[in-house]
Amino acid sequence: MRNRIGLLIHWLGFLALIDFFWLLVYAVIIFHGPGVFGEISRVLFNFNQSFSDMEGWFFLSFWLAIAHWPIKFVFTGDKSLFPWSKSDV
């Protein structure tokens, strides 16, 4: 049961990582210029986000992508980096 929950968390986090990557590429292409990375860091570390706009989803996908692996490791003890990899345990 814990392994299945860990696998679900890992897949959600992995998909959030892919989503974050494409949102980052989109933001850099659309909002190109010298201040784009300052604006991205402002969005990523603003913990008073409303999730009704693109900034909120960018924030959520980043933090889910960052936090999913440690949460999965605590639940299952599995150290595999990819969700489809075999367990090291």
Residues 51 and 57 sit within 8 Å (Cβ to Cβ): yes
- Classify residue 20: in a domain, yes or no: yes
Q: Please list the rounded mean pLDDT of every run of 10 residues in the chain (89 residues).
A: 85 92 86 81 81 80 90 85 72
pTM of this prediction?
Answer: 0.76
Per DSSP, helices labelled H in the chain are 2-30, 36-44, 54-76
- Classify residue 60: in a domain, yes or no: yes
Tens digits of residue pLDDT in 46-69: 888 777 777 888 888 899 999 998
Question: What is the total count of domains within the chain?
Answer: 1
- Classify residue 70: in a domain, yes or no: yes
- Classify residue 47: in a domain, yes or no: yes
- Classify residue 84: in a domain, yes or no: no
- Classify residue 19: in a domain, yes or no: yes
Domain residues for the domain of 59 are 2-76
CA distance 31 to 25: 10
Residue 21 pLDDT = 92
